[in-house]
């Protein structure tokens, strides 16, 4: 979804540069140079874009629901760990970048969805994603959001990243998280409370070509992901007028459950041991959140999360 839109925007920019309106392209390049750091400085959201009517239909298509399990006080800043990545990350986009659902459930909290920095190098596309409330996933960007002294800011990070999208098969419960501790360190440095978030149904939207670890396809995908910064899962779903084959996601309900916050005391220089302890606590809280809600969303009793 992001790749298609980015390609369209880049194509439009090339046409602009090569066409009769090349001077507009040059002006935009000057603007891009001037505005380059904005994605790392809170972005530039527009509520009118977040409230577009088409996002309402987008959320209702699956449908996408946001479930609250605990209060989040606007006196604190929060780092929300979103799981799993899936192919589309529909739950993260639908709940944190569109509509009033988050504001209604968590008044006084402003959400910022952090995405791969590479997307902000795409002409015009960067303006589009920033207008919806997306910002860079760089350390500088996360620090900017969590540095708000008055509280009320929430960084949403898809912890598994692009690598986890390669595990996005229907029924998969594998999360890439054991070696991902950077978000823990950021939470400690800024005293941001940690909140686990699990999005049930995220992996059910597409069928992906079999790519078990060690396979030739998986090795190629992982190498490309390291080079380009984003993964290329080979997936398919339904078409417009038939359900056999296409790129439109299946209509599978997505329930994004926001867990209870884990209080974090600010520690500007956390040790590896302190990071590991908080990481272990986060894993326990995430697993508990999943276990408490899995029955409500069709997960068999014997299924459990797998941490890699």
- Residue-wise pLDDT for 136-148, tens only, equals 999 999 999 999 9
- Residue-wise pLDDT for 78-106, tens only, equals 999 999 999 989 999 999 999 999 999 99
**Weakest-pLDDT range from 24-33, 76-85, 171-180, 250-259:** 24-33
CATH (residue range 40-307): 3.40.1130
pLDDT of residue 230: 76
- Residue-wise pLDDT for 113-133, tens only, equals 999 998 898 888 899 999 999
pLDDT of residue 9: 66
What is the residue-wise DSSP string for the chain?
Answer: -HHHHHHHHHHHHHHHHHSTTHHHHHHHHHHHHHTTTGGGTT----HHHHT-HHHHHHHHHTTEEEEE-S---TTS-EEEEEE--TTT-HHHHHHHSSSSHHHHHSTT-EEEEEE-GGGGGSTTHHHHHHHTTEEE-SHHHHHHHHT-TT--EEEEEETTHHHHGGG--TT--EE--TT--HHHHHHHHHTPEEEEEEEETGGGS-EE----TTSHHHHHHHHHHHHHSS----EE-B-SS-SSS-SBPP---EEEEE---B-----SS--HHHHHHHHHHHHHHHHHHHHHHGGGGT--TT---EE-
Does 111 score more than 70 pLDDT?
yes
pLDDT of residue 194: 98
The residue extents of the domains of the chain are: 40-307
Average pLDDT, the chain: 93
**How many alpha carbons fall within 13 Å on the CB side of residue 108?**
11
> 């809280």: which residue's tokens?
285
pLDDT of residue 12: 66
Decide: residue 300, CB within 10 A, 0-12 exposed, 13-18 middle, 19+ buried.
exposed
pTM: 0.93
């Amino acid at each position: 979804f992001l790749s298609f839109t980015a390609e369209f925007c880049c194509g439009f920019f090339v046409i602009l540069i090569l066409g009769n309106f090349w001077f507009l392209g040059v002006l935009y390049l000057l603007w891009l140079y001037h505005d380059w750091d904005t994605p790392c400085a809170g972005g530039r959201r527009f509520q009118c874009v977040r409230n577009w009517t088409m996002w309402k239909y987008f959320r209702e298509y699956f449908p996408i629901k946001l479930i609250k399990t605990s209060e989040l006080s606007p006196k604190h800043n929060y780092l929300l760990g979103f799981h799993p990545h899936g192919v589309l990350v529909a739950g993260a986009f639908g709940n944190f970048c569109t509509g009033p659902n988050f504001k209604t459930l968590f008044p006084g909290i402003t959400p910022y969805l952090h995405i791969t920095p590479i997307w902000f190098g795409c002409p015009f596309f960067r303006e589009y994603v920033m207008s919806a409330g997306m910002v860079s996933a760089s350390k500088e960007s996360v620090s900017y959001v969590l540095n708000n002294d008055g509280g009320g800011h929430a960084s949403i990070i898809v912890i598994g990243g692009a690598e986890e999208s390669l595990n996005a098969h229907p029924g998969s419960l594998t999360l890439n998280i054991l070696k991902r501790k950077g978000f823990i360190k950021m939470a400690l440095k800024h005293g941001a409370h940690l909140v686990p978030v699990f999005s049930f149904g995220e992996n059910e939207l597409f069928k992906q070509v079999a790519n078990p670890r060690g396979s030739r396809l998986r090795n190629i995908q992982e190498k490309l992901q390291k080079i380009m910064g984003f993964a290329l899962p080979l997936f398919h779903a339904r078409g417009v007028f038939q359900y056999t084959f296409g790129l439109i996601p299946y209509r599978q309900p997505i329930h994004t459950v926001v867990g209870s916050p884990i209080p974090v005391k600010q520690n500007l220089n956390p040790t590896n041991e302190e990071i590991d302890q908080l990481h272990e606590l986060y894993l326990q809280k995430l697993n508990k959140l999943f276990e408490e809600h899995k029955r409500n969303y069709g997960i068999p009793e014997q299924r459990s999360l797998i941490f890699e």
